[in-house]
Amino acid sequence: MTKPELKPVIDVQHVSKVYENGTNGLTDINLQIKPGEFVVIVGLSGAGKSTLMRSLNRLHQVTEGHVLIDGQSITEAKGRNLRRLRRDVAMIFQNFNLVKQSTVLRNVLAGRLGYYPTWQSSLGLFKEADKQRAYKALERVNLLDKVYQRVDQLSGGQQQRVAVARAFVQDPKIVLADEPTASLDPKTAHLVMNDLKSMNQELGKTVVANLHSVALAKEYGTRIIGLRAGRIVYDEQIQDVTDVDLADIYNDGSLVGEDQ
């Protein structure tokens, strides 16, 4: 599906990350992701999936290397430039990261904060077009009837779909999802994954998702990347992925399971 001549929308060049306490988060990561891909990153917990993802939008500062978003370095960007680049990279979190005391609408409109000066957004002076955008996003995730409710009155699955709506209205080029389904039941997990899929297929967003579940990875990904101990150990298009490969990524060379 991905045409080889397309320029990468995410270009990770020789990225390493050492945490302040000396832990190696990532070691010499090189990775190009083309527009329109649905990349799933798999690996044991502690493999560095979150670290990699948070290096892409610079929630983490990398120790070495560069990350280019659509050709521009986000690792060196400052102030306004950094905010512009971040606006193009929405993120969905395992814990939703909504403001629970605020309404659904206010949380969804927060996706537009990169487009407004603070005085205007604080006073709730969002443009009518942006409010319509928020309603439409909520309709997509089937939560339009909850628009004026406080977020803490919603179930976990509903909260994650509000977070998806927030990413919708942000209108990014890239959507990052860090274990978006880890705290959801299987049925809701599929709903959220379908939301991501429709962003990818209907709206053409590039999606990068960390997933714990091999089944979901195979069902939704167009490309699977395996991480182990901070290094990329696997990178294949979905049609070339075998169950043996996946089992291998999760087999750390020892007999013990995931929680080790």
Residues that bind other proteins (CB under 8 A): 57, 59, 83-91, 93, 95-102, 106, 110-116, 118, 121-122, 163, 166, 170
Is 51 a binding residue for ligand ADP by CB under 6 A? The answer is yes
Residue nearer to Mg ion on the CB measure, 50 or 181: 50
One of 4, 5, 21, 148 touching ligand ADP (CB under 6 A)? 21
Residue 103 is given by DSSP the state B
Neighbours of 242 (CB within 10 A): 9
Residues of this chain that bind Mg ion (CB under 5 A) = 50
Q: What is the Cα–Cα distance from 215 to 40, expressed in whole angstroms?
A: 11
E-strand stretches of the chain: 10-18, 24-33, 38-42, 64-69, 72-73, 89-92, 174-178, 206-210, 223-228, 231-237
CB of 253 to ligand ADP, least distance (A): 16
Burial 84-116 (b: 16+ CB within 10 A, else e): ebbbbbbbbbbebebeeeebbbbbbbbbbbbee
Q: What is the full DSSP assignment across 128-157? A: HHHHHHHHHHHHHTT-GGGTTSBGGGS-HH
Tell me the window of 42-50, 64-72, 128-136, 168-176 that interacts with ligand ADP (CB under 6 A): 42-50
Q: What is the Cα–Cα distance from 161 to 164, expressed in whole angstroms?
A: 5
Q: Taking CB within 5 to 8 Å according to partner kind, which of other proteins, Mg ion, ligand ADP, none is near residue 146?
A: none
Is 95 a binding residue for ligand ADP by CB under 6 A? The answer is no
CB of 92 to Mg ion, least distance (A): 13
Q: CB of 200 within 8 A of CB of 35? A: no
Tell me the window of 17-25, 105-113, 198-206, 214-222 that interacts with ligand ADP (CB under 6 A): 17-25
Q: Taking CB within 5 to 8 Å according to partner kind, which of ligand ADP, other proteins, Mg ion, none is near residue 203?
A: none
Q: Taking CB within 5 to 8 Å according to partner kind, which of Mg ion, other proteins, ligand ADP, none is near residue 110?
A: other proteins
Is 23 a binding residue for ligand ADP by CB under 6 A? The answer is yes
Q: CB of 178 within 8 A of CB of 91? A: yes
Q: CB of 100 within 8 A of CB of 152? A: yes
Residue nearer to ligand ADP on the CB measure, 51 or 75: 51
Q: Taking CB within 5 to 8 Å according to partner kind, which of other proteins, Mg ion, ligand ADP, none is near residue 38?
A: none
